Chain A
Amino acid sequence: MSVPNANALAGGAATPGKRWTDADGLHIDVRGLDPPGPLVAILGLIDALAEASFVYVHHDRDPAMLYPELAERGWVAESIAAPAGEVCLKLERVG
């Protein structure tokens, strides 16, 4: 699966976060970014996705401020197993 260019949605500014595709779907790693970098990177990615219904997020903390933004877009998040020191979320489009 190719990752659409979310940068266009951010006014041309480079959106941070490493992205890749695995067998289970699209992943984004926003560890180490200061707020609101993770928020911008994750929302920039899902806003640019026309078809994908799942995104896996690798974070170093619980992104409390992400959830209301996800809800506005019709997405929910589920915490899944992750190595120590990492928070892993499975985002799913439901709306």
Chain B
Amino acid sequence: MKSASGMFLAGAGSRLLPPSIPFRFFGAAVACHLLAWLALLVGAEDVPRFAGGLGWPLAALHLITLGVLAMTAIGASLQLLPVATRRGVGAARWPAALWWLYAVGVAMLALGMGIASPRLLAAGAMATIVALAVYAALLARNLVGARGMPVVVAHVWVALAALIVVIVTALSLAGSYIGAPGLDRTTALVLHIAYATCGFVGMLAFGLSHILVPMFALSAASDERKAFASVALAVTALLLVGALAFGIAPRVTGIGAIGAGAAAVVVHVRLMANALATGMRRRLGRSFVLVRIAWALLGVSLVAGLGVLLDAPLDGSSTLLILLLVGGWLLTFLLGILQRIVPFLAAMHAGQRKLPGKRLPPTPSALTADRPLAIHFRCHLAALALLAVAVIADSAWTVRLAAVVGAAGALAFANFFVVALRRMNVTEAR
């Protein structure tokens, strides 16, 4: 059996999902990315001093967090986690059903937030929560009995625990819009934001980085002892945020959380920087420029968090913190990683068939459209900078400009994604 870029070999079928599974999650994320910038454009007036409440800014935020970040994280983890745990995720029908429920739920939720329809929001929230619960079950089943990469597994367990907090607080917050309040709103809000960004998506991003960064840099696996120290520090930070949310010595627990979080970030980023510095592949291109910028903005977001905690005299500081955490760190990181994963997975799948003779299968670089990525790079960074200026200057027009530039970048990224899929399918059809 000739395996060019990889025929199915013994045991492979149990771990490698069909390409339609990860790519449907990535495709939905690409679409939500564009929709989020458009929602921001519609709700520009309320963005600079956004402090929660129904409307398009809230819809834009959730299109990014649920639609782009969690959507990408789910697709990537379903594909990559089995590599780490050496256990398949089982039948593909579950991830496929999960996608339908989740994508429809996020669409209803965002629309319900945008047009301020509590019933639509509640229905969308329920579908989203059920889908996330199914995902949590799939993840837990895969993690139980994992046979490799304990560092990745530990990160994902923490992400899973954080997801439970996110689901509970989401139920409470969504319930408050239809007259069924649960937790105190401020408590629920602090837990929801911190555990969604730093807990669920943040820990998945940290954990999967231990597979992806050494794999792309072609370096040795991370030092386990240091990686576990980073996990322990992150857990400490999350627990302290929990205490802060319930009003337990807020200044002390808040500063402690930021201190522990900063230490976790420093240890993690140093491990990643070491992987990049010692890897066989030194030139990782534009994608890893985005990744490095994202790590820097994660550090800046911790400083911003401290500013919010200490009541820094800056209007819109909470909005700026969310922008740094969600846009600066998580979105920038995931878009950087996604532009490497998509052509890599496409090449992996395109080569999973018998090739005549000794013809080489398509390579990741042959499936990558570089020009759209160059446009996206400039637009993404410009849009984030403009949004930061808009928040500081309280300027709705600057938000509109940022949204237009961001949407142009999102369109360019969508172009890159479509080109990669088309090239993969053309190669498969030959």
Contact residues of A with B, CB < 8 Å?
9-16, 34-37, 39-40, 43-44, 47, 61-72, 74, 76-79, 82, 87, 89, 92, 94-95
The contact of B215 among A61, A65, A70, A79, by CB within 8 Å, is A65
**Minimum CB–CB distance for A48 against chain B, Å:** 10
**Minimum CB–CB distance for A61 against chain B, Å:** 6
Closest 5 CB pairs of A and B: A67-B6, A62-B12, A67-B5, A62-B9, A11-B278
Q: Are B16 and A64 in contact (CB under 8 A)?
A: yes
Tell me the nearest residue of chain A to B344, going by C-beta.
A68
Tell me the nearest residue of chain B to A8, going by C-beta.
B280
Instruction: State A34–B7 Cα separation when bound (angstroms).
Output: 21
Provide the main secondary structure of the chain A interface: mixed
Tell me the nearest residue of chain B to A75, going by C-beta.
B360
The contact of A35 among B1, B2, B149, B362, by CB within 8 Å, is B149
> What are 22 A-B interface contacts by the 8 Å CB criterion?
A10-B280, A14-B220, A15-B220, A40-B219, A44-B280, A47-B280, A62-B6, A62-B9, A64-B15, A64-B83, A65-B83, A65-B215, A67-B5, A67-B347, A70-B5, A72-B364, A72-B365, A77-B4, A78-B3, A79-B1, A87-B11, A94-B358
Instruction: State A14–B86 Cα separation when bound (angstroms).
Output: 24
Q: Are B348 and A67 in contact (CB under 8 A)?
A: yes
Number of interface residues of B (CB under 8 A): 42
Q: Are B4 and A67 in contact (CB under 8 A)?
A: yes
Q: Are A35 and B3 in contact (CB under 8 A)?
A: no
Given A37-B220, A77-B3, A62 contacting B8 (CB threshold 8 A): yes
Contact residues of B with A, CB < 8 Å?
1-12, 15-16, 83-84, 86, 148-149, 211, 214-215, 218-221, 277-280, 344, 347-348, 351, 355, 358, 360-365
Given A64-B348, A68-B348, A95 contacting B360 (CB threshold 8 A): yes
Given A64-B15, A68-B364, A76 contacting B2 (CB threshold 8 A): yes
Given A39-B215, A62-B11, A78 contacting B280 (CB threshold 8 A): no
Inter-chain contacts of A70 with B (CB < 8 A): 5
Given A47-B280, A64-B15, A68-B364, A76 contacting B358 (CB threshold 8 A): yes
Instruction: State A77–B361 Cα separation when bound (angstroms).
Output: 11
Q: Are B220 and A13 in contact (CB under 8 A)?
A: yes
The contact of B221 among A34, A66, A87, A95, by CB within 8 Å, is A34
Q: Are A67 and B3 in contact (CB under 8 A)?
A: yes
Number of A-B contacts (CB under 8 A): 134
Inter-chain contacts of B280 with A (CB < 8 A): 9-11, 40, 43-44, 47
Tell me the nearest residue of chain A to B346, going by C-beta.
A68
Instruction: State A56–B400 Cα separation when bound (angstroms).
Output: 58
Instruction: State A89–B3 Cα separation when bound (angstroms).
Output: 9
Q: Are B6 and A11 in contact (CB under 8 A)?
A: no
Tell me the nearest residue of chain A to B345, going by C-beta.
A68
**Minimum CB–CB distance for A32 against chain B, Å:** 10
The contact of A37 among B221, B344, B365, by CB within 8 Å, is B221
Q: Pick from B83, B218, B219, B361 the residue with the most CB of A within 10 Å.
A: B218
Q: Are A40 and B220 in contact (CB under 8 A)?
A: yes
Inter-chain contacts of B9 with A (CB < 8 A): 62, 79, 87, 89
Q: Pick from B7, B8, B363 the residue with the most CB of A within 10 Å.
A: B363
Inter-chain contacts of A62 with B (CB < 8 A): 6, 8-12, 15-16
Tell me the nearest residue of chain A to B343, going by C-beta.
A68
The contact of A10 among B10, B278, B351, by CB within 8 Å, is B278
Tell me the nearest residue of chain A to B351, going by C-beta.
A67
Q: Are A87 and B215 in contact (CB under 8 A)?
A: no
Instruction: State A9–B217 Cα separation when bound (angstroms).
Output: 12
**Minimum CB–CB distance for B342 against chain A, Å:** 12
Instruction: State A17–B365 Cα separation when bound (angstroms).
Output: 28
Q: Are B11 and A71 in contact (CB under 8 A)?
A: no
Inter-chain contacts of A71 with B (CB < 8 A): 4-5, 347, 351, 360-363
Instruction: State A70–B10 Cα separation when bound (angstroms).
Output: 19
The contact of A78 among B1, B220, B351, B363, by CB within 8 Å, is B1
Instruction: State A40–B213 Cα separation when bound (angstroms).
Output: 12
**Minimum CB–CB distance for B227 against chain A, Å:** 12
Inter-chain contacts of A12 with B (CB < 8 A): 278
Q: Are A72 and B363 in contact (CB under 8 A)?
A: yes
Instruction: State A77–B10 Cα separation when bound (angstroms).
Output: 14
Inter-chain contacts of B2 with A (CB < 8 A): 76, 78
Q: Are B221 and A36 in contact (CB under 8 A)?
A: yes
